[in-house]
Amino acid sequence: MELALHPWNRGFDWEPAAPGALPDAWCEAWNERGFFVVPDAFGPAELAPLVADLDAFDAEVSAFLETRPDKKLFVAEGGNLTFSLHPVLRSSQARKFCEHPVFAELAHALVGPDVRLYWDQAVYKKPERPGTLPWHQDNGYTYVEPQQYLTCWVALTDATEENGCPWVAPGLHRRGTLAHRLTPAGWECFADDPPGAVPVEARAGSIVVFSSLTPHKTGPNTSEAVRKAYIVQIAPDGAVALHEGLPPEPLDHPERQFRLAAGAG
């Protein structure tokens, strides 16, 4: 599959998982396919207080979108897809959740010994106005250097094909950041499903672990219930975001982009 690279992506080399730090099957999947699933990482009792706070934030976002003529703000759309940004700034439950050892363990193996929370957001896919989020890489939205960081897509409800689970394009992560174009539904690196694309269903409490460079999308929610996910992204300490015509932006906001595994081996 011929794909253009992002113009800032020059000389990228994929960094493999640290050998022996995680199960061999996970490391192999990370290196060759760009994703794997950690099943049942969290139980209902661990999820419940987090979901209660995220539901409240989503209600605020949904009410705001209702005030807009088209119910839209960039990618967010009332009745389709809503985002609650940076719950760690408002919720002690979100902060506690992001500091869970499972994220530190994954980050040690897949990112490095010194890491920070880069981004966190709740993403709720609604059934009222089913829509698709296009194929994209997370590094195609904001270009981070180093390009390779970690996305942990935590299923707060069961994620199925019917309700809009992630789809992943295995293997393309090893090329680095691809060129993206802006569409009404968001940034897109290619329009058609590539060969080998797979849906990644996950039970509530499981983590879909993928690289910032793994192309993925989500399909429409054709069920009768909201599909809920919490996204926890982790980048190396010292990473910066690049913006056209501006100096590099350090990713070290003290209240939001806090260290998760400083100095650990």
- Cα 111 to Cα 105, 131, 233, distances in angstroms: 10, 32, 11
What is the DSSP secondary-structure string of 229-253?
Answer: EEEEEEEETT-EEE-TTS--EE---
pLDDT of residue 2: 75
Task: In whole angstroms, give the CA distance from residue 99 to residue 97.
Answer: 5
Tokens found for residue 244? 């056209």
Domains in the chain: boundaries: 43-67+74-234
pLDDT of residue 265: 36
State the pairing for strand pair 72-73/216-218.
Answer: unpaired
pLDDT in tens, the chain (265 residues): 679 999 999 999 999 998 898 999 999 999 999 999 999 999 999 999 999 999 999 999 999 999 998 999 999 999 999 999 999 999 999 999 999 999 999 999 999 999 999 999 999 999 999 999 999 999 999 999 999 999 999 999 999 999 999 999 999 999 999 999 999 999 999 999 999 999 999 999 999 999 999 999 999 999 999 999 999 999 999 999 999 999 999 999 999 999 996 444 3
For 253, other C-beta atoms within 10 Å of its C-beta total: 14
For 193, other C-beta atoms within 10 Å of its C-beta total: 12
pLDDT of residue 19: 87
pLDDT of residue 261: 66
Query: Tokens 């350090």 sit at which residue?
Result: 250
Looking at domain 43-67+74-234, its CATH superfamily turns out to be q2cbj1_9rhob like domain (2.60.120.620)
Task: In whole angstroms, give the CA distance from residue 230 to residue 190.
Answer: 25
Tokens found for residue 165? 């689970």
